[in-house]
Chains A and B, each alone.
Chain A
Amino acid sequence: MTSGIATNVRLTGITKSFLGVPVLRGVDLELRGGEVHAVMGENGAGKSTLLKVLAGVHRPDGGTIEVDGAEVSFAGPADAQRAGIAIIHQEFTLLPHRSVAENVYLGREPVRGMQVDRRRMVADTRELLDWLGEDGIDPTDAVSSLSVAQRQVVEIVKALSTDARVLGMDEPTAALADHEVELLYDLVRRLRERGIAILYVSHRMREVFDLSDRITVLKDGRFVTCAPTGELTSEDLVRHMVGRDLGEYYPDRAAPDDLGPVRLAVRGAGNDRVRDLNIEVRAGEIVGLAGLQGSGRSAVARAVFGVEPFTRGVVEVDGVAQRVTRPRTAVRLGIALVTEDRKGDGLALRQSVRDNTLLVRRAALSGARSRAKSDVKALLDMVTVVARGEHQEVRFLSGGNQQKVVLAKWLAVEPKVLVVDEPTRGIDVGAKRAVHELLRDLAKRGVAVLMISSELPELIGMSDRILVMHDGAPAGELPAGASEGAVMALATGHGVGDAA
């Protein structure tokens, strides 16, 4: 099984078009055993396609693939697998009700006589888990009993069990909670130590800097640069990715006289997940809500919006106490929620850009249909959606454009209070910037914005004030421009740090 020989893969001049539209236009990439090679680029830069070429899912139109110096051609994923290349996809492919070992050897079960050799299956799986240093998982555990991070380990073990020496990982932290990300870092480092070559595709700048040895940047399907991670700064990287200098990342904060009256007030509120909440958000203000995953950040958003309502305390909108017990009430009061899962509950993916933009207006309001006709284009221009037209289905848009459509559907009802949960998760740098500017723009027009984000630079860069949650309750409030250390100190329950 897994030996110590390092595998090298070299892709040279890879080109690939879909229906005549070039997606990759001559990309070079070299993967070495024992090295983490990150590929970065905006959505649509060609990262996923490159990964699929490597995995044998797509055949390149031009260019060569060499494994250990010998040129190869993959007719399908099975060929790539035989060459020792495996991909860990964003969506997990495990069967939840089967055991770890059964999943690892799914479809390739070792047999003895007429029967599946369970003992060997379990033993081999255990050996691989040990090799990785993952003793917290037992081969006989049902996958449904594992955490998301552990399931990722199983995916990796599954790949290793096919003697993979090259692993491609596509946004591996997207599904993970904050504390699980560290576990993944550890795992990736262990894989590197054991001579595996890793292709790491991610949007998150910090991860790439933490983990990778080299970084390749793609833009519009073209190879831009490849350099050792130590020789690049995050500014360099952004410049390479967007092809321009973004300079200052965030729009200006609100000046004191930009702030209007309190639009949203939560007083002494709580439910099963959060307690003792006192929040005020003024017109023109962006209030950041920080906290670790599971600290109750999103629970606050869901409670304000009536998904899981508060059971205690008072919610006031424009100074009037309201009982918000379901989303419909919230929408009609002028509260909007951009959820953290835009594909799961933000958009109807098979509907058109137009239908999604008008969804809130149609679903929640009545008698407003007459207004619904004319201004879709204006809304889409405002959020700078790039689509083939209003009738394109939103599932064909990039993540950034999808998120802009989510924002457009709320702008269509002119909310007073906008709650955004991870507004820039999984979208590219250019779209992030557009979303940030849009949020600030809305605040300037008198919307009260409550913003949740796991990305501290974003949260700090955007917020006029930061509320930090810890374990379901507010841990403190910090002024604009507080340091990451101060936020983390409160979020981890260590009181106000010295850096505030």
Chain B
Amino acid sequence: MTWRPRLAEGTAPVLVVLLLLLVGLAIAGPAYDEPSGYLALLKRAAPLMILAIGQYFVIVSGGFDLSVGALVTAGVVIAARLINGSESATAWVILFVLGFGLLVGLVNGLVTTKLLVPSFIVTLGMLLVLDGAIFLWTGGAPRGALSAGFRMFGRGAVDVPVLGAVPWSVLILLAILAAAALFMRGGTGRALVAAGDNEAAVRLSGGRVDRLRLLAFVLSGLLAAVASILLGGFASVSAQVGNGLEFRAITAVVLGGVLLGGGRGSVVAAAAGALSLEALFTLLNLLGVSGALESAVQGVIIIAAVAYAALGSGVRQRLRLWPKQRNPERPAQPASS
């Protein structure tokens, strides 16, 4: 059998949207006449894309992770306090932040799978706990400072032949995206999606559904920690750095055509959803639309994307230009195999 590129169900729209937005950017902004403009966009989008990849794992397996925004804030605040400007502390603090993200994901996952609390509630609780803890610890004004070494991941760039200076964050993003795509093609990744589709079928096929779900939360927590390291490089240290990122990540995933409730969608499309979102905000900014509208736009997008998915085959069949699947019956005699 020859390999041919194949789009997962629901992936095509986001790619069209992304393309339109990129063309829009090229028309609207002089900065987007050359690759460096797009590289800068990708750099800005990297943390959100990484969060969306993490969120994808949780959503496609049938859950939600609302704790990632607070986790990003926690990561930045903790890193600033622990490093406190000291270059030598950078390495172990990075490991500590990653470990912290992993631990939060582990707790989310264990409470969801073992205590059977819906993930929406578990991670909402985690959001509040982290928010409260950060406030208590910092008194609202984070202290300390990040080292240059830490900030390099968000700010720095390396020289790559042909492309010139490529930001670290873009390289990290591409590595994570490639790894995630590879993972989703493999057995465990496919089983994760199947668990989001029909838990009982996976269990009766000998699968460990709880472990798969747990893995999704751990990956989400870990990737949120990675995102916090990148964001720490971009932004100033504040207790608001991660505010609202969880909803932005969910919007991105939904925009990527991933089915809420699980069972369908591709991780690359989820990342493309995040990039589209960032491109849209950039475009609106270029067009002089107030930044205050961002969350309203986000709200409209999430409703529209879910509505589009829910209207489902009805609308899509009418929009479809060629008959891809016959739904109700098996009419013509298919070629006998």
Contacts and interface: CB of A to CB of B under 8 A. Distances in A.
Interface of A: 17-23, 43-44, 46, 48-49, 52, 220-221, 305, 307, 327-328, 330-332, 337, 339, 344-351, 355-356, 358-365, 369, 372, 377, 380-381, 384-388, 390-393, 396-398, 409
Interface stretch (B40-48, B110-118, B199-207, B215-223): B199-207
Contacts of A385: 337
A355 B200 contact: no
B188 interface: yes
B208 A355 contact: no
A355 B263 CA distance: 12
A377 B206 contact: no
B329 interface: yes
Contact of B329 (A23, A331, A391): A23
Interface residues of B, number: 38
A328 B208 CA distance: 8
Interface string B1-27: 100001001000000000000000000
Contacts of B201: 345-348, 359
A363 B198 CA distance: 13
Contacts of B323: 19-21
A392 B325 contact: yes
Given A347-B198, A350-B264, A363-B194, A381 B204 contact: no
B1 A220 contact: no
Contacts of A221: 331
Contacts of A220: 331-333
B325 A388 contact: yes
Contacts of B317: 19
Contacts of B197: 348-351
B314 interface: no
A314 B196 CA distance: 35
Interface of B: 1, 6, 9, 186-188, 190-191, 193-194, 197-198, 200-208, 259, 263-264, 317, 323, 325-334, 336-337
A392 B8 CA distance: 11
Nearest to A341: B200
B115 to A, nearest CB: 20
Given A381-B337, A388-B334, A49 B193 contact: no
B200 A344 contact: yes
B204 A349 contact: no
Contacts of A43: 330
A359 B194 contact: yes
B205 A364 contact: yes
A348 B259 CA distance: 14
Contact of B206 (A48, A331, A348, A387): A331
Nearest to B317: A19
B207 A364 contact: yes
Given A23-B328, A360-B205, A386-B336, A349 B198 contact: yes
30 contacts: A17-B331, A18-B331, A19-B317, A21-B331, A44-B330, A48-B329, A49-B329, A221-B331, A305-B204, A307-B204, A346-B204, A347-B198, A348-B202, A348-B263, A349-B197, A349-B198, A350-B9, A350-B263, A351-B194, A355-B193, A359-B194, A359-B201, A359-B202, A360-B205, A361-B187, A363-B187, A364-B206, A384-B337, A386-B336, A386-B337
Contacts of A328: 206-208
A158 B204 CA distance: 37
Contact of A327 (B187, B190, B206, B334): B206
Contacts of B207: 328, 359, 362-364
A400 to B, nearest CB: 10
A157 B28 CA distance: 64
Contacts of B264: 350
B240 to A, nearest CB: 39
B204 A362 contact: no
B326 A18 contact: yes
A15 B29 CA distance: 56
A66 to B, nearest CB: 24
B214 to A, nearest CB: 15
